Amino acid sequence: MLTIGLTHYLVLAAVLFCCGLYVMTTKRNAVGILIGAELVLNAACLNLVAFSRYRTGRLDGQIAALFVIVLAAAEAAIAIAIFVNYYRLLSTIDADEGRQLRG
């Protein structure tokens, strides 16, 4: 009988994190990168909740996860605002086109 334990959550979170990371690094579409970032954040939230549940038994992790979700929403709003401006400037949202940051 398979007992779902902490390890499963952590593995799932790790897979999720890796997926998010992969998406962030491979996608040229800015929105795609944003989605990747959401995946990474959610992976982190999952870890927090899992550790909270299996390690501390208190609600600290859940609270932190809630904060992360709120922040993620705020971040998405900011990111999309940036993209709109980005699109206005470059007529595309291909992140590779914005090379001004190149040293």
In terms of CB distance, is 26 or 56 closer to another protein? Answer: 26
Residues 6+ apart with CB under 8 A from 57: none
Give Cβ neighbours of residue 93 (< 8 Å, ≥ 6 apart).
29, 30, 31, 83, 86, 87
Among 13, 24, 41, 93, binds another protein (CB under 8 A): 24
CB nearer to another protein: pick between 61 and 86:
86
Of the candidate residues 25, 57, 88, 91, the single one contacting another protein (CB under 8 A): 25
Contact 93/81 with Cβ under 8 angstroms? no
Return the structure tokens found at 9. Answer: 């959550």
Q: How far is CA 93 from CA 30, 90, 102, in A?
A: 6, 8, 17
Query: Of the two residues 12 and 98, which places its CB atom closer to another protein in the complex?
Result: 98
- One character per residue 29-58, x = contact with another protein (rule: CB under 8 A): ----x-------------------------
21 lies in the binding site for another protein (CB under 8 A)? yes
Judged by the rule CB under 8 A, the positions of this chain that interact with another protein are 21, 24-28, 33, 95-96, 98-103
